[in-house]
Structures are given as structure tokens and as C-alpha cells.
Structure 1
């Protein structure tokens, strides 16, 4: 049977349901020997008579029916009028007599739902400080009543917590008459570093800091070396102090600019923060106080807003750190994890495409882990030298200017066998490429025709793929066919060389500023070709006459459109049907599975005013000017030859990924067939569940019908639970949780990022999180985190692009250059700074975005 009251030093073990998270924490830390002031918890059972009386009232039923402010206030008023029963009074007085005589109490709530991993009610329940003994009954009733506050009830509704189970415990604790107090974090909430404690301190009671009426001192301490690494002293103009007869007094400190804590106290407090974190085994924030130079722990809560690392990525405190770059956000245009099967296949893609030069595993350059993929920068700095630093900065300039720090603190100390093998593979690759490169440079046009023939042959193999072998054999056969034409992809190198020759030809002339147009919208680029194919489909009268997505889906499935349109549609699906949002993941539905979204994309294209038309015109004008310059130098023939080479070969830099995506589409089709067989056997609930199995598990399941698949899926997904609530993954993070970001501020209206596509444009912003979210009108500036090929139609109406994720090699930057759109990237948090309708000036030449006017 639950006790009515538990003292903090109780020998019993109350549950969360009995005393709530806050009281349970104080009882646990008291038992652990941490310096917690004496106190007691009035349990949920203590308040059972009150709760039972309230929950039979019409006011309570009205609150359940509609938890409005008015309904909550009526129930809260009932609760505040409750009086203690004889049993409650006897139990409370008996425990209060155990406190030392004199002094006052702090009274606060402790909800069974509070401070759980997924819910924090911080600041919603009422706290009462400086409560005298004769005020206890009245204040306890008020603390109890706060559980019916509209803020609490609304938060529960949002969190999916049932209101019917509303209950509360209340803490009564000896009030510390603090000289100095504040809060402390066992990790740095600004950069997520697990090795840094952060302390905010002010004079008097901590309520001044918590309520925001004073700016506290701010200290950052390295928990490993126990060194103070940052200190900011504020003018603490207000202090709250206890009155001997209860309540608080607001006054001014004797010296508001004095440092609140001594150096010794800062380190002592850091020790308490470490001890509290060690006790719980996870990051915590605490409230603390010094009274007569004695340190007390007032509260401890889990930090729920930090970014957790997978255990495999963490190094022990004080050991050599590792540095990771999350490849998805910077290279793929999305942040979500891959499916288990998708991650398996993508890992093979990177291994085969890099021909052994990008080894995976803890001692290699790539880490494939729980549906995510990381560059291991610590190993790459050792194995690749300065080239690695250049590579990081080409993706995102968040690490720019920190090269010395990176080499000092993160560069691996020894060369692993995998790094040595990668170096040998890179040298070997040069030799293998040489004969193909000679053929390419001798006749790039002929070489490119061979590449196109190889691509068509591989596409035919993917189209013909059937469920006639074990799945692992199908995957291996697909990659073997891919490997066979690997050196045909070198065609793009001739385009790079041709571009370099023309840039050199234009040096010192007005043509130098037009060089970007050379590689814009080249016919050999499959992504650009897809954009043109979509534009052609959007121009059919059939599409313009279709009213909605449902109508489109019906007519496509019934094939009731005009034969000319169906022929064009079939050709598009045959060539680009596997492309789409998150296309590198085999689990991602393809165009034929998302016909409604595809229709919306087609309808969003403005046929009369779009960037493909503008790009064609601007490119033609630029080429004409450069031809005139080349002619004046007597180099027109060389110019035309190099331009032809660029047109035919340069776009093949996108061909490998295009083929990987088409392969994924074929493998997806077969995987779903296998998944349907598992469903028929009663081993899966849905065919799509197969994507949470690995390649080996699928193949084993095909030959062993006794293999239980649901438990395998549960095991595969278990490690991902720690990041279940994560929405934004950092691009750069070290093995002690420290996140590296480029700091930007919107105060002046100027945002400095990375210049990735030349030009300047002024227009209104449209902020998108997904390509299907809202319509981008001609002239709008696209503002988003990052993009991938499914965003290509969106660019058709954009006039400039602003991206959170940096780097000139990502899809958004590439397409912006293809269409000649000014583009700035590498602006972390910019989608939260810029709002729809803000007037922007995007300077893609210098990497500057100016907010000229905010939207009304």
C-alpha cells in the first residue's frame, strides 16, 4: 500500500506513479549522498480524497469534454479550496515535526508525468518559496491545484497524455536562504559538448534567474581538465532574498558587477554537476544554491533537448577524440535515416564507386551505422592529408579557420591497415584509368557515345530484373553489371578539361564572368534532362485540363489520356520513374507509387515563365558573347570544339548516381514482391516491412521459412530509439558530442554564407521544408535546408536559392548553377530566420543574403 508521505531519506522505494519525477529524483539523490536539503513528498495517495472528490464533479467532466481555459480555471478553483482531512493533517504534522525548528519551506509540484524522457513540464506547475509553517495547508492546496492549469492540460494533450489519469504529488522542502544560486548543465546546451559544464549564477534566490528578471554570470568549465574555459560576468542588478517571517524581498546586491562565485566554488559546483550526472547515467540540469558557503542540490532533471550519439561513435572522456561529418544532409539533401535495407545497399554503392579508396568501418573513412553514414574526418586527415581539409570545406565551411585545431585535437595518430589499403587503391586506380583516359582525350565525342551505349545497356538489365534468385545474388549481379561499365563514367573529365580551356581563353575579358554558363543545362546531364522531360509533360493539354490528383491517377491507371501523352508519360517513367525525394533509399516510394505528388509537381510548373526557359536564353546570350571574344582572339574553332565536348560529356558526372537510383527502383520492385511472399506466409504484416531487414536477412529468410522476421526487425530498429526524437542532425560532430556550426546572426540583416552560384537577385522569400509543401511562384526565392533531384521542378519557378546546408557539391547548388540562379548556402538555421514574404537580396557571387524588408 502506498504511503501518504515519504521523507527524502526514506528507506522505502516509492515509484514514479506514487511521488512523481521530481520527488523521486530528490529521494534518489539524497540516498546517493548528494547534498539535498531535507524534505518530504506528499504522495499521489495523500491527495486521493481531493482527486476523487473533484473527478465526480460536472466541472471535471466539462474539462474532459473540452479542456478550455475557462473549464480548467473552474476545476482549479475547486482544487484550491480543498482542506486537509484529519488523516492528512496528522500525517503532515508528524513529518514536519522532524524538520529543525524555525525556517521556511519551498513547496512545489511533482507530477508522475513530469521529467520523463519525452515530457518536461518545466515552469508550468506553480512553486511557492518562503512558505511558513502556518501557511503550509493553503500553499499545498494551491500547488495541488496547479495540475489543472490550462498550460499543463494543453501540454498533456499535445504530448498524447490522457487527462483522465491526472494526478500529482507535492514536495515540501527546507527553504535554503541562498547567498548565491542558479542552474547548471552537465553538457553545454549551446554546442552539445558532453565534456563542458555550464553554470549560470546570481545573488540571492535562484528564482531571479529562472524567472528571467536578472542576467546571471555565465561560466563554462571543462569537466575533464577541470579548467574554466569561458567566463562572462554580468551586472546582476536584482536579487531576491527570504524574509525571516516568510515570503521574499527584491533588492539590489551590494556589488552587482561582482563575480557571483569564486573560482573554487565554480569548480566545487562542477564536481557536484559531474556527480549528479554520474548518479543518473545521462545528462542533467540542476538547480543549486550556496547558503553560508555550503553547497546544496535543489533539483535535478534529465536534459531532453541534447543530441545523443550512437554508443559506437563515443570516446571516453580525456581520450583522443574523433570527428564525424554526417553525409546525408550535406550530400543528399535530406536528414532522415535510411531503411536497414537501403543503408546496406548504399554502403555497397559507396564502396564500389570509390573502388576501395573510401574504406568503411571504424578504422576506415566511412562509418555506416544504424541507417546513417558518416565521413570519419579524424581518419581522413591522417590518410589523405591536407586534401581532407579541402574536402570538408567544399561541403560546408563550418570548419573553416579551425584547421590547426582539427589537426591538433582530432587527426588520427596512426595509419590503419584500411587507410594504407585505400592509398594503394588510389594509386592503383590511376594506373587502371590511364588507358581509358588516353582514349577519352583522343576522341571525347566517341568516348561519350560509348558511355551512352553502356548506360542504355545497364538500364535494360535493370528493367529486366526478376525475382528469380536469392535477393543477395540479385544485388551482387546488379553491382557486377555496374562495375563492368565503371570506366565509361570518366567521360565527364573531358568536359572539365574543356571548361578549363575556355576559362583560360576568357581570362582577362568580359567573358570571364560568363564562365558559369558553359556548364549550365548541358544535354548529357540526366537530372537536367529529367527537368526538360517534366516541362514537356506539363505542357500537354491533358495535364492543363486535369482538375486534381485523383483524376490524374485514375486516368493514368485506366490509360484514358490521349495516346501522345501516354507515350510521353511512359517514356518518362521508363527513364526517370525511379527518381524522387530520398531516392537513394530503396524503401522510398517511386513516381508510380506517388502519382498525386507527381501531378502536383507538373501543375506547379509555369509554362510561360520558368527558369529552364530563362536559362536557355541567358546561356545562348552568354555563349554568343564568348564566341565573339574567341573569334577576336582567333580561337573560335577551339572554343566551339571545347564547347561541344562540354555539352556531350560534362553532364555524365551525374550519371553514376542516376544509374544507382534506377538500380534502386528495380531492386525495390523485386523486394516488394519478396515482401508480399513473406506477408502471405504470415511472417510480415506488410510488404514494405522488408525494408527493415538487411540484405543477408532477406536472403536467409528466402531459404529458411522458419526464420522469424518480426523479431529481427525489432532488433534492427532498437539502436535507433535514442535518436527517435531528433529532427535535425548536425553536419559536424565529435565523439564527445560537440557540434561545429557556422554562427550567423540576423541582427544586421546580412547573412554570410558560401557563394555557390554567381549572380544577384532581389525578391520575396518562400520557405519550404519539402518540395510538395507549397507552390513556388515565378520570381520567388527558394529558402530551404537542402534539396535533391525531386526538388528539380521547384527550381523551375525559383529566381534565387538560399540553403541552410553548405557546399557547392550538393544538388541544390548544382541545379542552381545549371539554371543560372544566384545561390548562397551554408546558413545554419536560416529557415527559422527568414519568413515567407521577406524581401531578400541574394548575392550568389559573394555569398551574402540581405533581409531588406520583413513580411507584414
Structure 2
């Protein structure tokens, strides 16, 4: 039986440790211990635990320093550096307790090869080399340390390096509590390396999982890690076991061990033109890397060294945290390479989905499959083409784009839905590994015909084209029917509620959507007909102007309703002051208690009666609805009330946009009429029908959201039951389970620890800035980022015509965003929860979207210039900087 290590020990042999002791030994030591236990070659050594660090710093006033740091803005680099230096001073001044010094000395002197063996002394923080954050290079390392006094001093300096400027700044930026991180120290026998370097088991730039990347240099690997050398670089195809690329560096800078301790940095007079590894060695290192990757279950960033006997030693391994996880393919159609499309991103949702939100989409996806005549074996598990990665929803589109019809239609759909995805998809379709299949057109036509007949789609579209009022009445009936759907009564059991949720999501939410979607589609078909007939008669931006101020759009009606609450509140100074100057938490409590000023209380209650099922990221069942948490609305109301007297009235702006659109219809029909009276009449008819019907584009999503609301309410009741029985910590934690988990919890399983881990992962995913639109199953992305324009201009898709110059405001999350009147809203993406901000925006720039994406449609209706699909807009533009937005030509110019 393996001896269990003492978690309170001051020193632990690396052979005794693993990931279960993370709090005692830190990430670096834990990973090295895991490698040793896996039988891989790791130099012998020991770990000075966090218990030793705690004893050494017990009397140092680090909490006071950390408290001051926590109040500093991460951008205050001078302040951060000053207090970090103070922390290092108190750590070094504290010295090393005798008991700790004795334990370290005994462990060092017991190492193989004698009492004065050369060792590497490395920091190992508890928030380091983890699957979610590497913290690479934030603390110090000391190489070729010889003798007990030198080892003790190196340990003390490692402790102090927990407070280096770079480590403190890293924690500040990532929101990590300084007092929650502790330091252990790894002491290992030094490898007198002839060649050393780093090995990535997947390409950290392209993401290719089958490509191992090796950087190597003569001497110690410190030269590669520190970036002081131009190393040799090898790319190994691990599937074939061959070197597919090599590039020799000059290797003029070499780090070698000094006799007696320390290192020497040597600059060679001329470049070394001989590779420091041959292909056989590179492939052997790549195979070793795969062993490490297989052990940890994720691609690894490895530091290695070859000794004079050619033995490869592993001296560090950490996850490559920058790689986007590859979705797990569930479909099986014989394709060796699969292509995944991010569905949640295409819906304007950049943030992650909760586990329950992902689980709900499985059932909704099964319902969509049923409509299309595609049976799902287990609706709770969802269609095999739907799979999550990084808490985002991906669709395996391999079979779709290999089908001759899908290959033609899907890119065209993306042209209007998400233009940059369309460009990336067309690039992917050129890959010879994704050949089109033969045949299938007749089967597709038969399936489409059955769906169209089942839901009377041609009839609905024709009726809408002939009498738009029929489509509007149908939308009203569908909304009323969705509101009538309620959950179970008070006496229902938690199990009954869960089964009702499953039946409701599978059978009630999706089927109403085909009853209204053809009407909106008819509107856009009319729009495209007019565009085609106009040809060169329409100048840039003219046709898009027709879609301004559209009637019958539930989202713009919602925004204007909220503005009306603010306008009514503004008429009563005391009420306006209460909302404008109050704390959100206090206003929220007052609203729930019914004690807000009556004009606000009644106005907000009336607003929530119709729109309370909406939310930011509303397609995620796990997100609180506005009726559950009206805090966001109260922030928006306060922002409206801070506008100066005489600020533009959105109603007037909407009316002006409508008049401009109607005038443009007349103008375009006259131009078309010059080429024939029938052409002019057809253009006028088509554009007027487009205006009557295109606003219904938002209704299917609104119906979906109304359908999610009772399911969320019932699940919350289930969560209350599980919390009362101790299987969850709080009722809201039910949304960090999936439906299968909830069944297991109702059967008695305790999910509190599972929820804690998932919340941690979700919080980290909230900080992820890049999510791929399309992703190959080998980890690479088809999308090629356009090179920066030589003149600094950013290009995207023109979405709403017009031009404006104003200050930019970068907004990642609208929940507590403040937008000054006329500012340019710059966002990764938007959904209806963002649109109250549009009322005061002077323009819109989005990283996602196409000409008919949600944000583009609403921007046009309000008449604000918009450019969408702008690569990295939120990082390339800065808050406060003036930018010129040309929504007619799709250009954003920083000034």
C-alpha cells in the first residue's frame, strides 16, 4: 500500500505527490509528481510545501499589502509595482524558520549524487500550471544551485517572487485574490543539458492537434524559455511520425552551468548553422510528449532537456491554456475530418451557456430534427450533430456541407446571418479533405416538401404577401398561446416538474415557430426581389434605408416601452432622483417590496408583464429573466434619466427613420419606373411588403423565449427541493446541472461539489475573448484574419447606412454598462437584451453579424449607422477614442 503523504509536512519527496495535493505543493510540483508516478523520466527532487511558506511569512503583514493592491486599478502600474516591492521586502525580511531550514537542508543533502549536488530551484504556486491558467514565468527559477546555504537562499527568493511586479499584475488583471495564492518550491537535481528547449504537443498558434512543435537550443533551456535565443524549430506530424517543417535559428545565445554553481550566458561570434536535433530525436521527443498529453488528457507545454547520454528528461509540464477545446464528434458518416459551426456565437451570444442552457438546446434540437423528419434516438442527449465545447454550442456541419444542397445553401444563409462565418466556410469548402457527396437532392426535396406541407409554409408565406395583417394577427395569436402555457400546480412533485420540463421543451417550444417564420421570410424575399429589380438604380445604402423604422418588431417595441417608463419618471423629479442616484441593489429590493415611487413601480411592472421573460443572453435557459432580476433594467432606466434635457427622443428618431424609409421606397420605385412602369410598380409593392413583414423577424426568438420561461420557473422549483434536501447549496444551482444530472440528484446524488467546479469553469469562460466561428476537428480554424489595413481602417459588413464620428465605448457585458448619448457602441455581439443601449447610441460596431443579424436589424430601425463583422473590434478600438463609422460602406476609421 502506497504511503499517504502528510499534507502538513514542510517537505515532500516528488515521488509522493500528485494533483490531489495542489494546495500544498502548487501546480508545477503536482504535475512533476504525476509524471513520476506515470513512470516518465523526471529528475529526482522534493517540494518545499506551502505550509513552509505560511510559517515563514506568518508574521509578515502581507494581508495589509494585498488589501491595498486589491483596491488599485490594474492599469496603475506604478502603484502595483510599489506595493509589490513592499511585499517582497517583508517576505525577505521574515527570514526562514529554523524548523523549515532544517527540513529543507535534510531533503537536499539526501538527494542522490551527494550533499553538494547541483539543483534547479523553481517556484510552484497554487494558481500555476493549471488546466485553466498557466501563470507561465510569473515567479522565479534559479538554476545550477550548489550547496545547502545557496539552496536555502534560493528558496527564500522563490517565496519573494510570488510578489514580483509581473506576478502581481497578472493576478490583478485576472481578478485573482492575492491572499488566496500560496507558494511552494520545487528542488530538483540539475540536468547538465547538451540540448534543451520546449515542446508543445499541439501547435499553439494554429491549434493543430496532430502537430507537435519543438524549439531547441544547445545548453540549458532557459535561453528558449526567456526568449533570448533564436532557437531551432521543428514541427512533427504525430499521426505520421515525421518532421514536416524545420527552421534553423542562429542559436548565438547559449546558457550553460558554471562549475560550482550559477549559470553563464554566452554569446557566440557567429550563427550555429547545424541543427541541434536530428529528425529521429525530434520524433522521439514528440512521442514522449504524446505520452505526457495522454496522461493529463490535454495538450501540454513541456520543458525538456537531453543529457550527454541522450536521455530525455522532463523538467516541467503545463496545459496549453490558449487552445480552444475541440468539440467531440458524435456523428459518424465516414468523414475523417469534421467541421464544427458555433451556433451560440451565430445567435449573438459570445458568452458561455450554463449547463442547463446547453441541455435545453439538446431537447430543442431534437424538436427541430423532428420537424425536419430527422429522428433523435434520445432527445435529452440531443441530435448527434449538436455538441458543446468551452460551454458553447457547436453544430457538426460535416454532413450538411458535404450534401450538394447544403453546400450551396448554408453559405448563402450565413451571408445574411453572419458574414465572416460565410467567408470562413467557403474557405473550408475548398479543402480536399471535405469532398462533396453525390446525389441526395431528391431526398432533400422530398423531406423539405413534407415539412412545408405539414406546416403550410407556402400558404402562410402567400397569405402574408397578400395580406400582411393576417401575419400580424397570427403573431398575436401565437404570443397569446405561448403566454397561456403554464407549469404544474403547487402539489406537483419535483420529479413531475422535471418530466413536465422535458415534455415542454421537446414538444411545445419549437413547433409554433414554423407558423410565423414564413411571414418574415416572405418579407425578406420581397426585399431581395426589389434589390434584384433595382440593380444599378440603387446606390450604396439606399436599399438598406428601406428597412429603417420597421413596424411590428417586438424588440424595438420593447425598447421604446422602456423609454416610456423613463420619460414618465422624468416628469416627477423626486422619482427621477430616486432612480438616477440610487444603488441598484436598493432599487431592486424596493421594486420587489413594491415601494418604488408609484410611477416607476407601475411602469416597470407593466413593462415586465409583457417583456419579463426576456434577458441578456436570453436563449440560455440558465440566465435569470428580467422578471427574476430587474437590476439590468434599473441600470438602463438610470442611464436614460441621466441624459440632459433636450436629448434626442427615440420615438421622434424612430418616426424620422420611418419617414426616411418610406421616402426611399418612393424614390427607388421612381428610379425603377424609368425602365418600365411594371418594374417600378413591382419594386414599390415588394418594398412596402418588405416593410410590413420584415419586422416579424424578431417574433420567432420572442416566442422561443416565452416558451423557455415556464420551463425555467419549474426547474427553479426543482432546485428549491434539491437545496432543501442538501443535494444543492442553493436553488439557482440547478442551472449548473443538466437534465440527466437533475434526475440523478432527485434519486439522491449530491451535486454540490459538481456545481462548485462548473461555476468555476463557467466564470473562467466568461473571460474568454476569442471563440472560433468554425473549427476543424484537428483544432485548426478555417477563418483567416484579414491583415490590418495600411491606413488603420477596420472593415466589416455595412449594416445600417449613414456615417457618424463620436467617441467609442467598448462594452463586453451590457448588465451594468453606461453609454453616454451619441457614443459608438462597440461590442463582440448583441442580442435583444443589449438593445435598450441602442436608444442612446450614436452608432454600432460589432465583431459578429451580417446584414440581417439581430444587431444590424435593430440599428437600421433606429437609424443609427452600423458596421458588423469587424474583426477584433473590441481590442483594436479603445473607450474614449474618436472613431468614424461609415455604415454605408462598412468601414470604421479610428481618428
Aligned to 1:582: 617
Distance 1:269 1:19, change over 3 A: same
Aligned to 2:90: 74
Q: What's the offset of the Cα at 1:767?
A: 0.2
Residue 823 of structure 2 is aligned with which of 780, 785, 791?
780
Tell me, yes or no, if structure 1 residue 832 matches structure 2 residue 875.
yes
Q: Is the 8 A contact 2:324 2:390 kept in 1?
A: no
Distance 1:556 1:86, change over 3 A: closer
Partner SS state of residue 115, structure 1 = coil
* Worse-matched range after superposition: 142-151 or 361-370: 361-370
Partner SS state of residue 581, structure 1 = coil
Q: What's the offset of the Cα at 1:331?
A: 1.3
**C-alpha separation in 2, matches of 1:424 and 1:274:** 48
Tell me, yes or no, if structure 1 residue 400 matches structure 2 residue 423.
yes
Partner SS state of residue 269, structure 1 = helix
**C-alpha separation in 1, matches of 2:139 and 2:756:** 36
**C-alpha separation in 1, matches of 2:386 and 2:17:** 51
Residue 810 of structure 2 is aligned with which of 762, 767, 775?
767
**C-alpha separation in 1, matches of 2:829 and 2:179:** 38
Q: Is the 8 A contact 1:186 1:194 kept in 2?
A: yes
Q: Is the 8 A contact 1:144 1:168 kept in 2?
A: no
Tell me, yes or no, if structure 1 residue 657 matches structure 2 residue 701.
yes
Partner SS state of residue 313, structure 2 = strand
Aligned to 2:471: 451
Aligned to 2:46: 41
Q: What's the offset of the Cα at 1:270?
A: 1.9
Q: What's the offset of the Cα at 1:526?
A: 1.8
Distance 1:576 1:401, change over 3 A: closer
Tell me, yes or no, if structure 1 residue 527 matches structure 2 residue 527.
no
Within a 5 Å distance, the mapping from 1:707-726 to structure 2 comes to 707-708=746-747, 711=750, 725-726=764-765
Tell me, yes or no, if structure 1 residue 608 matches structure 2 residue 648.
yes
Aligned to 1:378: 398
Distance 1:503 1:468, change over 3 A: same
Q: What's the offset of the Cα at 1:783?
A: 1.0
Q: Is the 8 A contact 2:301 2:320 kept in 1?
A: no
Distance 1:723 1:150, change over 3 A: closer
Within a 5 Å distance, the mapping from 1:248-647 to structure 2 comes to 248-253=263-268, 255-256=270-271, 258=273, 260-264=275-279, 265-292=281-308, 294-303=310-319, 305-307=321-323, 309=325, 312-313=328-329, 320-340=336-356, 343-344=359-360, 347-348=363-364, 351-352=367-368, 355-356=371-372, 365-367=385-387, 372-383=392-403, 384-391=406-413, 394-397=417-420, 400=423, 403=426, 406=429, 408=431, 411=434, 424-432=446-454, 437=458, 440-441=461-462, 444-446=465-467, 448-468=468-488, 471=497, 472-473=499-500, 476=503, 479-480=507-508, 483=511, 486-510=514-538, 513-542=541-570, 545=573, 546-549=576-579, 554=590, 558=594, 572-605=607-640, 607-608=647-648, 612=654, 615-616=657-658, 618-629=660-671, 634=677, 638-647=682-691
Q: What's the offset of the Cα at 1:328?
A: 0.9
Partner SS state of residue 879, structure 2 = coil
Partner SS state of residue 592, structure 1 = coil
Q: Is the 8 A contact 1:195 1:223 kept in 2?
A: yes
Q: Deviations over 1:639-673 (max 9, x none)?
A: 54334322322222322211122232344445546
Distance 1:710 1:829, change over 3 A: farther
TM-score, length of structure 1 as denominator length: 0.82
Distance 1:213 1:685, change over 3 A: closer
**C-alpha separation in 2, matches of 1:4 and 1:685:** 34
Q: Is the 8 A contact 1:343 1:585 kept in 2?
A: no
Aligned to 1:151: 163
Q: Is the 8 A contact 1:359 1:366 kept in 2?
A: no
Residue 207 of structure 1 is aligned with which of 222, 227, 230?
222
Q: Is the 8 A contact 1:357 1:425 kept in 2?
A: yes
**C-alpha separation in 1, matches of 2:739 and 2:67:** 50
**C-alpha separation in 1, matches of 2:289 and 2:563:** 60
Within a 5 Å distance, the mapping from 1:631-710 to structure 2 comes to 634=677, 638-669=682-713, 671-672=715-716, 686-691=730-735, 707-708=746-747
Q: Is the 8 A contact 1:454 1:485 kept in 2?
A: no
Tell me, yes or no, if structure 1 residue 196 matches structure 2 residue 211.
yes
Q: What's the offset of the Cα at 1:213?
A: 2.5
Residue 106 of structure 1 is aligned with which of 120, 130, 153?
120
Q: What's the offset of the Cα at 1:140?
A: 3.2
TM-score, length of structure 2 as denominator length: 0.79
Q: Is the 8 A contact 2:217 2:254 kept in 1?
A: yes
Aligned to 1:216: 231
Q: Deviations over 1:451-492 (max 9, x none)?
A: 333333333333334444654557757955974684354222
Q: What's the offset of the Cα at 1:337?
A: 1.1
**C-alpha separation in 1, matches of 2:483 and 2:657:** 33
Within a 5 Å distance, the mapping from 1:109-128 to structure 2 comes to 109-110=123-124, 114-117=128-131, 120=134, 122-128=136-142
Q: Deviations over 1:45-85 (max 9, x none)?
A: 9x96x975x45656689779879532431331443798997
Aligned residues: 832
Aligned to 1:802: 845
Q: What's the offset of the Cα at 1:151?
A: 1.9
Q: Is the 8 A contact 1:786 1:803 kept in 2?
A: yes
**C-alpha separation in 1, matches of 2:231 and 2:138:** 22
Aligned to 2:492: none
**C-alpha separation in 2, matches of 1:443 and 1:84:** 82
**C-alpha separation in 1, matches of 2:134 and 2:825:** 35
Q: What's the offset of the Cα at 1:777?
A: 2.5
Q: Is the 8 A contact 2:798 2:890 kept in 1?
A: yes
Tell me, yes or no, if structure 1 residue 793 matches structure 2 residue 848.
no
Q: Deviations over 1:609-654 (max 9, x none)?
A: 6563653454355345335435655466545433432232222232
Which structure: larger Rg? Answer: 1
Q: What's the offset of the Cα at 1:326?
A: 1.8
Q: Is the 8 A contact 1:75 1:148 kept in 2?
A: yes
Q: What's the offset of the Cα at 1:736?
A: 3.6
Distance 1:617 1:108, change over 3 A: same
Distance 1:809 1:143, change over 3 A: farther
Q: Deviations over 1:694-726 (max 9, x none)?
A: 66888x89xxxx944663787799889876633
* Worse-matched range after superposition: 277-286 or 320-329: 277-286
Distance 1:362 1:232, change over 3 A: farther
Distance 1:309 1:215, change over 3 A: same
